[in-house]
Amino acid sequence: MPGASWVYELAEVRKAFDGVVALDGVSLAIERGEHVAFIGPSGAGKTTLFRILNLTLAPTSGTLRFDGADVAALTPGELRRARRRIGSIYQQHNLVGRLRVVHNVLAGNLGRWSLATALASLVRPRELETAARALAQVGIPDKLYARTDELSGGQQQRVAIARVLVQDPDVVLADEPVSSVDPALAAALVALLRDLARATGKTLLVNLHSVDLALTGFPRVVGIRQGRILFDLAPDKVTPELLELLYAGSAPEAQDVAALRPGAVAFGKACRPLPGFTR
């Protein structure tokens, strides 16, 4: 069956908000089980693409197929079942701060639970072992009953990952999951996401602010600029010239790219010397 192994197929997807174009004709196919990193300057449309891929936003035009089905043709019920199969991790602010960690993690079950179960679980948490196991997997087993807004940014991101583990989707989408934590922790969290996805055979799509993390951790890197795909390559094919083109005109990221050259100090030290970055 042709196309049976594609999780996502996008053809000329456009998205405009009140006339402002965020995505300008994106065509892309993602295979089941693939790990893909998306990079590009702020405002390039990465987050819009992420919200289209997790079926929160509908494209203005173009077609989006999820698991072979045209998303525009799905009924509300089918759409909800499709969303259940996609786990999302956001940059920040995606947990309910006033709820205890256990409820935020168990909220991954909301796509399956009945109203009665969901209500009962708020009083006496259901499937406690599932929640505890997920928290242990992300390395914070002792935070089960902590109030979520009392955790650090990195710990909250781990809770968000644990919620996705409980949801147990086929696809994991992460939108700049580590741009609000320090570089060492960022590398650890991205590695955690990769390991968890590989262990369960999930497709993993990550928007990354850090070129370093994208090039060192992902077999496929997509560069997005001004709402279009600039390149879609294996990391060793991503040349410094391409990166400079990708970030041209956006000062902070251009600096990050410069810092990746061997010889430049900065925290790029930990990463491997990139091919092509010679003096």
Residues that bind another protein (CB under 8 A): 54-58, 76, 79-81, 83-88, 90, 93-99, 103-104, 107-108, 110-113, 115, 118-119, 122, 160, 163-164, 167, 169
Min dist CB 7 to another protein, Å, is 16
Give the residue carrying structure tokens 């089960």: 144
Helix (H) or strand (E) holding 221: strand 220-225
Q: Residue 51 or residue 225: which is nearer to another protein going by CB?
A: 51
Q: Residue 48 or residue 229: which is nearer to another protein going by CB?
A: 48
Helix (H) or strand (E) holding 65: strand 61-66
Q: Residue 58 or residue 136: which is nearer to another protein going by CB?
A: 58
Q: Residue 6 or residue 113: which is nearer to another protein going by CB?
A: 113
The two structure tokens encoding residue 85: 């199969």
- DSSP label at residue 39: E
Min dist CB 263 to another protein, Å, is 40
Question: Would you call 153 helix, strand, or coil by DSSP?
Answer: helix
Q: Residue 18 or residue 241: which is nearer to another protein going by CB?
A: 18
Interior CA angle at 202 toward 200 and 208, to 5°? 125
Give the residue carrying structure tokens 């989408």: 173
Q: Residue 15 or residue 225: which is nearer to another protein going by CB?
A: 15
> Do 182 and 171 touch, CB atoms closer than 8 A?
no
How many other β-carbons are positioned within 10 Å of the β-carbon of residue 110? 14
Min dist CB 131 to another protein, Å, is 13
The two structure tokens encoding residue 102: 């256990």
Query: Which residue type sits at 225?
Result: R
Give the residue carrying structure tokens 């956001």: 90
The two structure tokens encoding residue 110: 């909301």
The two structure tokens encoding residue 1: 């069956």
Residues in the chain: 279
Min dist CB 108 to another protein, Å, is 6
Q: Residue 167 or residue 207: which is nearer to another protein going by CB?
A: 167
Min dist CB 71 to another protein, Å, is 9
Min dist CB 274 to another protein, Å, is 34
Q: Residue 114 or residue 263: which is nearer to another protein going by CB?
A: 114
Min dist CB 80 to another protein, Å, is 5
DSSP letter for each residue of 175-233: ESTTTTS-HHHHHHHHHHHHHHHHHHT-EEEEE-S-HHHHHHH-SEEEEEETTEEEEEE
Min dist CB 63 to another protein, Å, is 15
